[in-house]
Amino acid sequence: MGQVRIGICAPSTPLYPEEAEQLISLIGQSHPEAELVFHDQCFAIEGHFAGKDDLRSSAFVSLANDPSLDAVWFARGGYGAARIADDILAQLAPAAHGKNYMGYSDGGNLLGALYKAGIGTQAHGPMPVDMRRDGGMAAVNRGLDWLVRQDKAALEPHIETGQKYAAFNLMTLAMMVGTPLLPDMEGHVLMIEEIAEYLYAFDRALFNVTTYLADKGLAGLRLGRVSDVPENNRPFGEEAEEIVLRLCDRYDIPYLGSADIGHDVDNKVVPFGVIAA
């Protein structure tokens, strides 16, 4: 296998240079065939963001349009990708179509927009920032297993060849409804996950998503992990899966059970679209 060059930018919030250096050192042992190319923009700080909108946009475009790169990996989530997605799509050249793109959380805005536009291949999966978690290099290595080797052992275990898939953080997905970023979900199994949201907010977001998708031909829905749920001032009265079951039943969306995705080190890779045999 030849060298696989992966460009890394931060469409939302920043990394630290020492984290990039550590990651490059570690993957030299686990994935020697991979070369990580961190754009300097990853380390820019402008308030909440990894640089101003135009800087984050231009960094993504420069990596996507670079024919020497095989993939673009989002450094981390947070918030910010939706602010630049429209500008990015209009600037992408033919080289961008041959790349793999991976991230999750707020990065779902870009994954969805790229998927809708038919630009490259996308996957909801681990990001470099996951190295901060306890045991997080397992997640990072899993992401690289997919980006570098297309190793199907990295995939969410319910994925089957011939079926269409997409995966999103629920709050990100709910905010994409009604915008140009949301792709067509007809025939797809949709996997969702969430972190640090009250259950009433989870209910409200899923109501928005399921009412919109009710007549869009969704093949089914799987629920990933809903973690770090804040304690409300009174019990909500339903757990996350009960909310999903109720809304799927109301809007005639097949509920297919759990999904092995989430904001954690066990997050598995979910490529968008159909997985080839």
Alpha-carbon torsion, ordered 11, 223, 208, 181, to 10 deg: 30
The domains of the chain are located at 4-154, 164-274
Tokens of 6: 């992966």
Asked which of 19-23, 95-99, 131-135, 272-276 is least confident by mean pLDDT, the reply is 272-276
pLDDT in tens, 136-152: 999 999 999 999 999 99
Q: What value does the mean pLDDT take over residues 175-197?
A: 98
27 pLDDT higher than 60? yes
Same fold yes or no, 4-154 and 164-274: no
Average pLDDT of the residues of the chain: 97
What is the Cα–Cα distance from 30 to 263, expressed in whole angstroms?
23
Burial class (CB in 10 A: 0-12, 13-18, 19+), 234: exposed
What is the homologous superfamily of the domain 164-274 according to CATH? Answer: LD-carboxypeptidase A C-terminal domain-like (3.50.30.60)
Query: How does strand 71-74 pair with strand 34-38?
Result: unpaired
DSSP annotation of 237 reads: S
The fold of 4-154 is: Rossmann fold (3.40.50)
Flag whether pLDDT at 85 surpasses 90: yes
**pLDDT confidence band for 1 (50 / 70 / 90):** low
Average pLDDT over residues 36-47: 98
CB count in 10 Å sphere of residue 166:
24
pLDDT score of 102:
98
Using alpha carbons, list the distances in angstroms from residue 127 to 18, 91, 103, 151, 260.
Answer: 16, 24, 6, 16, 16
Query: Residue 277: is its pLDDT beyond 90?
Result: no
pLDDT single digits (tens) 160-178: 999 999 999 999 999 999 9
